């Protein structure tokens, strides 16, 4: 474990590094995600990859509150990770449009596989979020 941690520290110094912060409690405890995100920043993360809450299948409004809660507490940019096959909920294009208004939310890692939804998302966020 010490070797892995040492390699991570070297990578953080040499390369831009985006850290995935899923948090504890089965990915459902928002305070744990906020804490994990702050810890990643302290270690030098250049960005944060935050997966949509899973297990509880929150509403679209809940997704907005979740990401905004974390975004208000960090200084590193956030990439929203939408992987509905794992989380049980898909982020809708209108939700992305609302998230695009927060300056710390800067990207989307989209894994829903629905090209028409992706095209709609791109149109709604109007260049405010990068799409991966």
What does the pLDDT look like over 48-103, one tens digit per residue? Answer: 999 888 777 889 999 999 999 999 989 999 999 999 998 899 999 999 999 999 99
Average pLDDT over residues 109-127: 95
Matching residue, tokens 């990068």: 130
Active site residues: 81, 109
Beta strands in the chain (DSSP E): 18-20, 47-51, 78-82, 105-110, 130-131
Here the tokens at position 11 are 């990578």
Count CB-CB contacts under 10 A for residue 15. Answer: 8
- Angle 21-130-14 from CA coordinates, rounded to 5°: 55
C-alpha distances (whole Å) from 19 to each of 9, 12, 37, 109 are 12, 10, 8, 13
The pLDDT, as a whole number, for residue 24 is 44
Q: To the nearest whole number, what is the mean pLDDT of the chain? A: 84
C-alpha distances (whole Å) from 49 to each of 2, 52, 124 are 23, 10, 21
Here the tokens at position 24 are 């504890």
Query: Is the pLDDT score of 23 beyond 90?
Result: no
The whole model's pTM is what? 0.79
Query: Is the pLDDT score of 47 beyond 80?
Result: yes
More confident residue, 61 or 45: 61
Count CB-CB contacts under 10 A for residue 124. Answer: 17
């Amino acid at each position: 474990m010490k070797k892995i941690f040492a390699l991570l520290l070297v990578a953080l110094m040499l390369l831009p590094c985006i850290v995935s912060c899923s948090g504890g409690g089965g990915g459902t405890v928002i305070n744990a995600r906020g804490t994990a995100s702050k810890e990643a920043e302290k270690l030098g993360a250049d960005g944060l990859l935050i997966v949509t809450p899973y297990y509880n299948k929150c509403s679209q409004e809940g997704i907005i509150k979740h990401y905004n809660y974390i975004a208000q507490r960090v200084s590193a940019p956030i990439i929203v990770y939408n992987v509905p096959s794992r989380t049980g909920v898909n982020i809708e294009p209108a939700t992305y449009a609302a998230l695009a208004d927060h300056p710390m939310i800067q990207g989307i890692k989209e894994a829903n596989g629905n090209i028409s939804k992706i095209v709609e998302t791109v149109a709604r966020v109007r260049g405010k979020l990068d799409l991966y």
